[in-house]
Structure 1
Amino acid sequence: MRLRTMPVFLAFLAMGFADAVGPFVSLAKNEFQLSNSVASLIPFVGFSMFGLLSVPVGLLQDKKGKKFVLMMGLLVALLGLLNASIGLGSFAQFLVTVMLVGAGAAILQVAGNPIMRDVSEEGKYARNLSLGQFIKAIGSLSGPMIPVIAAKYFGADWKVIFLVYTGALILTILAVAPMKVEEKKAEHKAATLASCLALLKNGYALAMVGAIFVYVGAEVSVSAGIPLFLKERFGLEIAKVGLLGTGLFFTALTVGRFSGGVILNWMSPRKFFLVTCGISILGLLGLFIPDQNIAVASFFLTGIGFANIFPLVFAIAVESMPSHVNELSGLMVTAIVGAAFVPPLTGLVADGSTVQLSFLVPLACVLYITWAALMNLKTAKA
């Protein structure tokens, strides 16, 4: 049975590759001589795919099956990576790659969580799903790490990341293709576009979906802004600060997600939700202290705070509205499109003032999420 879960774990790793759009902002900004606002089109193009594809692909999955959709996501992402691997001649070509990788990740996200249930042993689904999210975080961490390692130890260009990702995608496709899956029927009525939209009339559901929207936007804004911030404030070269800044942030996300599973054994999700918001606020406020070491520590602290916001919002919302699990799932995956809209706003603020002041945008996002956390805490006490 463990061999049956391995291909799905590889698919979770591939999901994390889409998070490389954050580090890509600073790298592509230098490569193609872009302004902050134009560079912010990178996450917009990639993450807009979540808004466009999540619900339609979910409906397709009901007809064609989870393995079909999983393979489709892998092939779409591979097509994007091959486009970049043959050589990037223009920013437009680069955006095509980002769009296809984002589309592939959106499709994988729809299929990945439910298919893990089909290949897991009885009673092991929750454990495997948590491990899958941890592995996805490793995929996310590879985005800032691979270009720095390639440049420092091999003298290679940052675009070598596309060749590495292409190899990983081919390996995953070869592992998933022969996988036999006995797909289990859904326990709840399948979500439709109409049922998802109808749920938005519920104020609580709208608030929680909004929390996902601004969270993913804040996460991408921070990961994209770290190298730009360190260069503007402290004169550090973007090609050399991946591990110091963005890499440290994604490392914190990885550590935080692992630690969150342990902490939730003795702390309630609603209380932990508020704690993570407080840590995130402290981390972002630390960026306004004029000290390089404090700035680096603040990025790590922000990553620790951000690490569990998405799963906490999702779990608390489903716990509060268990009869609408499919609609909530569809809406929250769709809300990942927030990563397409918040970073451009952050980029506009950076162009109009400074990169440092642009971090007020993700701070405002976290303040909204904190309001949602307080709302849930009051509901639990009532």
Structure 2
Amino acid sequence: MKNNYLKSGPIFLAFLCMGFGDVVGPLTSQLQAEYQLSNFMAGLVTFMGFIMFGLLSVPMGLYQDRKGKKTVLILGMIAALAGLTLPILGDFSSFGLLLGSLLLLGTGATILQVAGNPIMRDVSPEGKYSRNLSFGQFTKAIGSLSGALLPLLAAKYWGLDWKILFPIYSSILLVAIIYLWFVKIEEKKNESETPASFKSVLSLLKNPYVFFMVLSIFLYVGAEVSMSAKLPNFLEHKFNFDIKELGLWGTLFFFLALMTGRFLGGIILNWMSPQRFLKITSLVAIIGILGLFIASNSIIGFAAILVIGLGFANIFPLVFSITIDAMPERSNEISGLMVTAIIGGAIVPVIFGAVADIFSLMAGFIVTLVCIGYILVLSFYKRK
């Protein structure tokens, strides 16, 4: 079948909204500077944004198996919208309310990931799922990028700050909910005669291939969130960038590279196999991380960040789509497991922060190097 842009349009818009959950990364360095937090405590900020991935993903995957992906996608948008409107109604007066807002936003992002990744297969032409998922992740990267870009523009041109994100994100989510509500999507039914259950989901982890791939998602997301949160600190540590005025450029540049890499990945996957591309992109990511250690000036530092972003860009959609294409009849269960593994975004940054506090900031980046190194080794794994 050919791409049906009427049906795929709201799905790509849902991916844009997924990216809003990544705002916890850019906010981390800002809150760390404002509240004088340790690296470990700053890691707990991302913990609030990602903890629901570990708690909700499998239950929502099972619910989705019965009620459908479109229904779950709309529920995710509503949860995110509720989270974004809370601090607006409270006039941003309570930090506790803000944490609750991020928790709800993370809840919405969790549900959107559970439904969005497999429903993209339903609106994709045969054999083009990996390509469209990379384009979807490219769209998500635009949402992620906005978390660093909009506060910079707001401060420079309008005298505002990060609070501007909340009304903008709320408006986009409202449009996305209305758009998706009126579009009919034919979902591919689960070919398995037995409905998905907690038992069937857990049984998948006994499959070494699935287990290794789920672990790679855990490590990748943890590495990505660590990068988006700590690159401003890297620029401050190595090149004396003011973290409030210039530090966000590290995160912004990283997300720009991610966005570019995902767009290019969607093109490359028209002629290169996902398995081969995973090997190449993992190696590029490792080269970029090593570049942080040898950067002697800010130009080399930003070049390293560029290479990291390009390398990181397609790891998530490649691992996700390769696994689902291997077992399409278990797509809802695999999606639940994969999105559960996004809890790595809550745990790995805390480990990064602990290592940075005990040794040094640059030692923390070794944590991300180990994460991507595992994925590079996994890319050579032959499924039996």
TM-score, normalising length: structure 1? 0.90
Cα pair distance change 1:91/1:354, threshold 3 Å: farther
Counterpart amino acid of residue 226 in structure 2: S
1:315-354 paired onto structure 2 within 5 Å: 315-321=321-327, 324-354=330-360
Q: Which residue of 1 aligns with 2:96?
A: 92
Q: Does 273-282 or 210-219 show the bigger shift? A: 273-282
State the one-letter code of the partner of 1:237. D
**8 A contact 2:152–2:161 mirrored in 1:** no
1:291 CA drift (Å)? 2.1
1:151 aligns with 2:158: no
Any idea what the Cα deviations from partners look like across 1:236-255, whole Å, max 9, x if unmatched?
Answer: 12233366311111111111
Of 214, 218, 224 in structure 1, the residue corresponding to residue 223 of structure 2 is 218
Query: For residues 324 and 77 of structure 1, do their structure 2 counterparts lie closer, same or farther at Cα, with a shift above 3 Å needed?
Result: closer
Cα–Cα, structure 1 residues 322 and 171, in superposed 2: closer, same or farther, change >3 Å?
A: closer
Shift of 1:49: 0.9
Q: State the distance in 2 between where 1:121 and 1:282 align.
A: 33
Q: 1:249 aligns with which of 254, 258, 268?
A: 254
Counterpart of 1:303 in structure 2 is: 309
For residue 345 of structure 2, what is the amino acid of its counterpart? A
Secondary structure of 1:374 counterpart: coil
Tell me the residue number matched to 2:273: 268
Structure-2 separation of matches of 1:333 and 1:326 = 11
The CA deviation string for residues 19-65 of structure 1, in whole angstroms up to 9 with x for no partner, is: 12111111121233322211111221221211111111122223333
Structure 1 gaps of 5+ residues are: none
Helix, strand or coil: the match of 2:37? coil
Separation (CA, whole Å) in 1 of partners of 2:255 and 2:316:
15
Alpha-carbon distance, 1:133 to partner? 2.6
Q: In the alignment, is residue 236 of structure 1 matched against residue 241 of structure 2?
A: yes
Q: 137, 141, 144: which is aligned to 1:137?
A: 141
CA contact (8 A) 1:55 1:192 kept: no
1:34 maps to 2:40: no
User: Secondary structure of 2:70's partner?
Assistant: helix
- Structure 1 residues 218-227 or 54-63, which shifts more? 54-63
Displacement, 1:267? 3.1
**Alignment correspondent of 1:14:** 17
Contact 1:45 1:340 in 2 (8 A): yes
Identity of aligned residues (%): 52
Distance 1:204 1:8, change over 3 A: closer
Q: Deviations for 1:246-271, whole angstroms, at most 9, x for unmatched residues?
A: 11111111111121222233433333
- CA distance in 2 between partners of 1:179 and 1:124 (Å): 23
Separation in structure 2 between the aligned mates of residue 268 and residue 182 of structure 1, nearest angstrom: 27
Change (3 A) 1:73 1:308: same
Question: Structure 1, residues 278-302: CA drift from partner, whole Å, max 9, x if none?
Answer: 1111111111123221111111100
Aligned mates of 2:323, 2:8 — CA distance in 1: 27
Structure 1 letter corresponding to 2:111: I
* 1:89 to partner: Cα distance: 3.1
Q: How does 1:258-297 map to 2 (within 5 A)?
A: 258-289=263-294, 290-297=296-303
Per the normalisation by structure 2, the TM-score is 0.90
**Structure 1: distance between partners of 2:366 and 2:63:** 39
Is the contact made by 2:59 and 2:336 (CA closer than 8 Å) also made in structure 1? no
Which residue number corresponds to residue 172 of structure 1?
Answer: 176
RMSD: 2.4
Q: CA deviation at 1:337?
A: 1.1
C-alpha distance in 2 between matches for 1:264 and 1:179: 28
**Of 318-327 and 192-201, the range deviating more from structure 2:** 318-327
Match of 1:200 in 2: 205
Which residue of structure 2 aligns with residue 227 of structure 1? Answer: 232
Per-residue CA deviations over 1:286-345 (Å, capped at 9, x if unaligned) read 111232211111111001111111122223334445554443322112111111110111
**Structure 2 unaligned blocks of 5 or more:** none
Task: Give the 3 Å change call, closer, same or farther, for CA 145–281 of structure 1 in structure 2.
Answer: same
Deviation at 1:183, TM superposition (A): 4.3
Give yes or no for contact 2:233–2:247 (8 Å, CA) kept in 1: no
